[in-house]
Structure 1
Amino acid sequence: MFAKTITAALASTALLATVASAQTPAPSTAPSADKTSTSTTISTSQLQGDWRASKVVGLSVYNDNNEKVGSINDLLMDKSGNIKAVVLGVGGFLGMGEHLVAVPFEKVKFSTEPVAYTGTASTGTPGAGGSSTTRPPASPPTTTGSASTSSAPASKSNPWYPDHAVFNANKDELKSMPEFKYSE
């Protein structure tokens, strides 16, 4: 056991020394190297209104009747970086028995406003496996059918991701669609 610890310590020391030596600045032959690196960066102000893909995965998906139909499991893009499809997870409990469906990205709409309160009593705790499909009243109340296209909504404290997605289908229609499988 002691020999494994010593071997691991020596290997990590060698890796750190390699990284440290790789960071020593080499003499620059091109005086424009610094100008090139700064021109390829993007400032936060240039990205204002864009959404983080990591926050879109996991969003709840509702239909036009404010019924929760699933959640976004993945975004599929082509080689040039354009998002082509959204993989929705429908049904199941804690990931077990979930039916995956790929739908065209253009058919999914995103909303920055919270789901409107429908006035029906909820029987479970949202996010805890309950059967609730509504959230507490939002101010001002809006429906999921009116997806906002503004870049920075006034009622949302974090403009880097939408509140939810909207896909016009019910759970039964989504479950009857062909199941999406990742091919090896």
Structure 2
Amino acid sequence: MMKSIVAGLAGTALLATAAFAQAPPAATDKAAPAATATTTTSASDQWRASKMSGLKIYNEANENIGSVNDLLMDKSGNIKIAVIGVGGFLGMGEHLVAVPFEKLKFVNEPVAYSGTAATSPPGRPASTTTTGAATGTDKTATTSSASKWYPDHAVFSASKDELKNMPEFKYSE
């Protein structure tokens, strides 16, 4: 048994030594292959579709009325429908509705909040006071919206109850 182990270790050491002993290929006088074009495309005015799922939707009164569950597009790639999840908790009991995509207004600035810690949303300090988020005039945002690849939220002209009363959206099979 000991001879087998020693033989195995010696073989492994020989193979490893041979691999480390190989020199990198020497430079030759041959012409270098044509350099591949490494152009980068700037898409600073574009949003990532993968970041749109879960995007919160507010009404004009800055009340959270739901979130984007899905985006449906036509065969030419134009987004036509936003499927919004309304109500429920952690996806349970959620009511899905389909709204025309052009009816959503996307906003880069955070939602307007003002008040005490009791009314501030989780993760936002109580001292934060912003205004005009639904109109896109908030100037107190600390995160550069140009550096994000998605909007902060969307605005839709409806109350949560109006959305809940809309016909439920179901995916056809």
> Shorter-chain TM-score category?
0.5 to 0.7
Give me the TM-score of the superposition, normalised by structure 1.
0.63
Q: Which one of 133, 139, 148 corresponds to residue 159 of structure 1? A: 148
What is the percent sequence identity of the aligned residues?
Answer: 63
In the alignment, is the contact (CA less than 8 A) between 1:51 and 1:162 conserved in 2?
yes
Unaligned stretches of 5+ residues in structure 1 = 1-33, 128-133
Shift, 1:144, TM fit = 3.3
The answer for the alignment partner of 1:181 in structure 2 is 170
Task: Give the structure 2 partner of residue 81 of structure 1.
Answer: 77
Q: How far, CA to CA, are the matches of 1:118 and 1:87 in structure 2?
A: 30
Distance 1:181 1:162 in 2: 26
Distance 1:112 1:79, change over 3 A: same
Q: 1:44 aligns with which of 41, 46, 53?
A: 41
Aligned residues, how many? 136
Q: Counterpart of 1:167 in structure 2: which amino acid?
A: F
SS of 1:106's equivalent in the other structure is: helix
Q: Return the offset for 1:121.
A: 5.2
Map 1:22-33 to 2 at 5 A. Answer: none
What's 1:117 paired with?
113
With normalisation by structure 2, the TM-score equals 0.67
SS in 1 for 2:133: coil
Q: CA deviation at 1:115?
A: 0.5
Partner of 1:171: 160
Structure 1 residues 176 and 121: CA distance shift in structure 2, 3 A: farther
Q: 1:144 aligns with which of 133, 139, 143?
A: 133
1:163–1:138 Cα change, 3 Å: farther
Over the aligned positions, Cα root-mean-square deviation in angstroms equals 3.1
**Structure 2 stretches lacking a partner, 5+ long:** 1-33
Structure 2 CA distance for aligned equivalents of residues 136 and 166 of structure 1: 23
d(CA) in 1 for partners of 2:131, 2:72? 29
Once the two structures are superposed, residues 12-40 of structure 1 have per-residue CA deviations (whole angstroms, 9 ceiling, x without a partner) of: xxxxxxxxxxxxxxxxxxxxxx9xx96xx
Q: Equivalences for 1:65-80 in 2 at 5 Å?
A: 65-80=61-76
Distance 1:76 1:120, change over 3 A: farther
The answer to whether the 8 Å contact 1:91/1:97 transfers is yes
Give yes or no for contact 2:116–2:127 (8 Å, CA) kept in 1: no
Instruction: Give the Cα separation in 1 of the matches to 2:171 and 2:60.
Output: 29
Structure 2 vs 1, CA of residues 61 and 50 (structure 1 numbering), >3 Å: closer, same or farther? Answer: same
